[in-house]
Amino acid sequence: MYRHLELRLAETISAFLKARFPAATLPAVVIEQPPKVELGDFAIPMFPFAKPLRTAPLKVAESIRDGIGVIEGIAQMTVAPPGYLNVTVDRVWMAAALASGQLLPAPGAAGKILVEHTSINPNKAAHIGHLRNAILGDTFVRLLRYAGREVDVQNYIDNTGVQVADVVVGFTYLEKKSRAEIEALTRQPRFDYYCWDLYARVSQWYERDKQNLQARAQVLHAIEDVSSETAAIADLISTAVVRRHLETMDRLEIEYDFLPRESEILHLHFWNAAFSKLKDAGVLTFETEGKNKGCWVMRRAGTEENTDNTERVEIEAEGLRIDTYASRNTEPTAVRATHIPTGTFVTSDTERTQHKNRERAMELLRSRLAEIKAEKISEEHQKVIVRSNGTVGYVGKDIAYHMWKFGLLGRDFGYRKFYRYPDNHDCWISTTEGEKNHPHFGDVAEIYNVIDTRQSEAQSTVIEALRELGHNEAADHYTHFSYEMVALTPRCAAELGYELSEEDRARSYIEVSGRKGFGVKADDLIDQLIASAKKEVDSRHPQLTDSERLSIAAQIAIGALRYFMLKFTKQSVIAFDFKDALSFEGETGPYAQYTVVRATSIFKKAGIDPEAFAKEAQGSMSSKHFGSFLNGENGDEFWGLWLTAAKTSYVVDQCVAATEPAYLAKHAFQLAQLFNTFYHRHPILSEADEGRRKFLLITVAIVRRELIRILEVMGITVPPVM
C-alpha cells in the first residue's frame, strides 16, 4: 500500500517538473523516509534539482508544493530546510486501504525461481553453521513466495566425496562393522551424531599416521564400482544421514522439493554433455606445459586475460650477484648477472666493455624476471577443471549442474519420492532411473544459491563459464546469496569442553570444524532451546497439559532460533554464544510472538474473533470518526503504528532486491515494539468511550494480522498463549 503510493507520488512529481521545466534535463525523483513522524511520511530531497534548474532547493520545493494540485492519498506537502519537500499521507485513506486487507497484485515477474540451500555433506550431523544457511534460504523462499513468485527449493547432496568415504573408512577400518551392522545403526534415532564422532575420529586417525590415508584412497576407488559392497555401504550411510538432516530441518518448518545428488550427476554423465559444449565454445583450454600440464583449465573468474607485464621489476642489491669472466678474447668483459632468490641468471658478452655488458645484463635480467612473473600470474589465473588423469573436479560438475538448472544441458535426472512431510508434501530425490510421473524440476528462469562467502570464487567461476558459453541471460539471473559463517566465541568453545590454545583464546571467534568435530550440533541447540522455553511455560501455565506446554515451548524455541539467525545482516560473522541464542527477551523471536499473544488475549477476553473483526473493520467506522483519532491528540502515535504495519510489502521488496532477510527481522521488531508501547499506554477493554474503544480495537486487529503475516514469512508461528 505504502509502496504503491510512493511510486505514484514519484511519477506525479516527475511529470510535474518535466511539464514545468521542459528545457532542463532532470535527475530521477528520489523518495526517502523522514527521521520523525511529525515531519511527514515521505521526504524528497531537492538538492539534486538545484543545479540543473539554477534554483535554490527550497524554492524548487515551494514551486512543487504550490503548483502540483491534488494527489489521491496525499494530504499535504511542506517545505523543510535545508531542502526537503516533506509529504504527508492522507491517514484515513491509507488506513482504510490497509484495513481492507487486500494485497496489491504482484509485479508479475514471470518464470520459476530455483533456490538452493542447506547442502550439508551427508557424513555428519548438521551444526549451527548449517542452520544459518537453511534458515536464510528458507526465509528467502518465503519472501519470494510472499512477493508472488513461484519457487522450487533444492538441497544439493554431495554424496560422492572424500567426506563420505571417510565415514565409510571409520565404519569398516576402525569399527570393523559389517554392512548389516551398519544398516542396523542407521535405524538409530540420531545416526548422524554417531557419524559426527566417527568422522572426527577418522580425521585424528589420519593425522596420527599418514599411512592411514591409504584406506581413504582404497575406499574411494571401491566406491566407483556402483555394484560393490563399499558403494552400497556409502549409499546406506549418506542416505540415512540425509534423512536425518531433513528431519532436523523439518523441526524448523523447513521443507525441500528436490534433492539432486552428485552421484547422479556422475552416473548420468552430465559432465560429458557439458564438457563437449565447453570445449566447442573454447571456454576450456588444454595445457601442454607448466604446472598444469595435461589439464583442461579455465581462466579464473575476476582475473584479466591480458597479463602482459611491462612494469619494471626492481632488483634489490643483496639479491644480486655479478660475475665477470673472459670469453673469446682475454679481457674479462663478459658479465653474468644472477638473481639469487630465484636462481635466474643471464649473461652478456656482446658489448666491448665490462660496464656496457653489465648494463645490458641487468636489462636482460629484468625482462627475464618480468617474463617469469607474467608466466606465474597466468598460471595462478588458471582454474583446473579436468585433472591430468582425466577426472573432473568439483567446479566442473557444478558447471554441468548449473547448465541443467537453466535447462541448457539437454539431460535430466531420474526422480523418485524420498521424504513425505506432515502436510503430505513430497520431497523428491535424484536417481538414475526414476518414477514415470514426477514434477518437472530445473529449466528455471532465475536461481539463488545460498552458500557461504568462502565459496564466492567457485561460484563466480561457474557464472563465468555460463557467460563464456554465451548464456549471458542465465549468468545475469544467477545469484550467489552469500553470507558469513557462524563461529563460536572462545567462551562458548570453553563451555563445550574444548581445549583452546592461547592464540584462540585471544580471538573474538573461532571457526567451527566438522572434521575436528568442533561445533554445536543443530538438534542439540534446538533441544536446549525447547527445554529452556519449556521451563518457562511450565511455571506460567501449570493448568495446561504437558503436551500442550511442550508444543508451545517448541514454537517459542523455533521462534527464538529463526529470529536469532535472521537478525544479523548477511555480511556479519555470527559469534555464537548460548547466552545470546537462548535469550527470550529484547530483540528476539519470542518478543514478537509475545506481542501477538497479547493482542490475541485482548480479543479473547472481549469474546471477539480477531480475524472476523479485522475483516469487518473497514466498514464498521466512518472515515470522519477514523480521522478524528489518526489526526487527533495521539494521532502521531497511532499513525506510526498503522504506517509501520502498512510498510510490510515495501520491506519485503527490499529484502528480495538486496537478498537480505535481516530487514524483515528489523521490521518485525519495530512493529512489535511500537505495539507494546501502544498497549501499555492505552487500556482498551476498560475504555469508556465506545467509539475510541472501537478504534483502538481495530488498530490492534490490523497490527496483529500484519505481525502474524511478517512472522510467517520468517517461518515463525505464534503459540496460543505464552
**Segment 369 to 388, residues that bind RNA, using CB under 7 A:** 380, 384, 387-388
351 class by beta-carbon count within 10 Å (0-12 exposed, 13-18 middle, 19+ buried): middle
Binding residues for RNA restricted to 464-523, rule: CB under 7 A: 484, 507-508, 511
CB of 652 to RNA, least distance (A): 13
Mark the segment that binds RNA (CB under 7 A) among 60-68, 230-238, 400-408, 533-541. 533-541
Among 35, 69, 282, 422, binds RNA (CB under 7 A): 35
Please check whether residue 93 is in contact with residue 72, taking contact to mean a CB–CB distance below 8 angstroms.
Answer: yes
Among 11, 18, 26, 47, binds RNA (CB under 7 A): 47
Please check whether residue 264 is in contact with residue 418, taking contact to mean a CB–CB distance below 8 angstroms.
Answer: no
Among 72, 585, 689, 690, binds RNA (CB under 7 A): 585
Contact flag: residue 568 with RNA (CB under 7 A): yes
- 145-120-409 Cα angle (round to 5): 70
Q: Which is nearer to RNA, 64 or 537 (CB)?
A: 537
Binding residues for RNA restricted to 245-274, rule: CB under 7 A: 262
**Which residues lie closer than 8 Å to 103 by C-beta, 6 or more apart?**
649
Binding residues for RNA restricted to 598-617, rule: CB under 7 A: 598, 601-602, 605
Calculated CA dihedral for residues 275, 279, 284, 289, nearest 10 degrees: 110
Give the N- to C-terminal CA distance of the chain in Å, as an integer: 32
Say if residue 82 is preceded by a cis peptide, omega within 30 of 0. yes
Contact flag: residue 666 with RNA (CB under 7 A): yes
Among 389, 424, 437, 547, binds RNA (CB under 7 A): 389
Among 52, 294, 434, 627, binds RNA (CB under 7 A): 294
Other beta carbons within 10 Å of 639: 20
Please check whether residue 681 is in contact with residue 635, taking contact to mean a CB–CB distance below 8 angstroms.
Answer: no
CB of 262 to RNA, least distance (A): 5
> What number of chain residues touch RNA (CB under 7 A)?
95
Among 594, 626, 639, 642, binds RNA (CB under 7 A): 594
Among 18, 66, 76, 82, binds RNA (CB under 7 A): 82
**What letter represents residue 635's amino acid?**
G
Mark the segment that binds RNA (CB under 7 A) among 27-35, 183-191, 328-336, 348-356. 27-35
Among 25, 391, 424, 501, binds RNA (CB under 7 A): 391
What is the C-alpha separation between 172 and 368, in angstroms, rounded?
Answer: 54
Binding residues for RNA restricted to 402-441, rule: CB under 7 A: none
Among 145, 221, 269, 291, binds RNA (CB under 7 A): 291
Q: Which is nearer to RNA, 3 or 358 (CB)?
A: 3
How many residues would you count in the chain?
A: 722
Contact flag: residue 343 with RNA (CB under 7 A): no
Mark the segment that binds RNA (CB under 7 A) among 17-25, 63-71, 393-401, 624-632. 393-401
What is the C-alpha separation between 449 and 464, in angstroms, rounded?
Answer: 15
Coil, strand, or helix at residue 169? Answer: helix
CB of 526 to RNA, least distance (A): 15
What is the C-alpha separation between 344 and 425, in angstroms, rounded?
Answer: 67
Please check whether residue 196 is in contact with residue 241, taking contact to mean a CB–CB distance below 8 angstroms.
Answer: no
CB of 380 to RNA, least distance (A): 6
Q: In the numeric block, which cell numbers belong to residue 14? A: 516527475
Contact flag: residue 235 with RNA (CB under 7 A): no
**What letter represents residue 104's amino acid?**
L
Among 138, 158, 166, 257, binds RNA (CB under 7 A): 158
Binding residues for RNA restricted to 535-564, rule: CB under 7 A: 536-537, 540-541, 552, 556
Radius of gyration of the chain (CA): 33
Coil, strand, or helix at residue 470? Answer: coil
Q: Which is nearer to RNA, 364 or 374 (CB)?
A: 374
CB of 131 to RNA, least distance (A): 16
Q: Which is nearer to RNA, 13 or 334 (CB)?
A: 13
CB of 435 to RNA, least distance (A): 26
Mark the segment that binds RNA (CB under 7 A) among 1-9, 518-526, 597-605, 631-639. 597-605
CB of 394 to RNA, least distance (A): 3
**Which residues lie closer than 8 Å to 30 by C-beta, 6 or more apart?**
44, 45, 48
Among 200, 283, 520, 575, binds RNA (CB under 7 A): 575
209 class by beta-carbon count within 10 Å (0-12 exposed, 13-18 middle, 19+ buried): exposed
Contact flag: residue 222 with RNA (CB under 7 A): no
What is the C-alpha separation between 136 and 118, in angstroms, rounded?
Answer: 9
Nearest to 466 by CA among 278, 674, 632, 340: 278
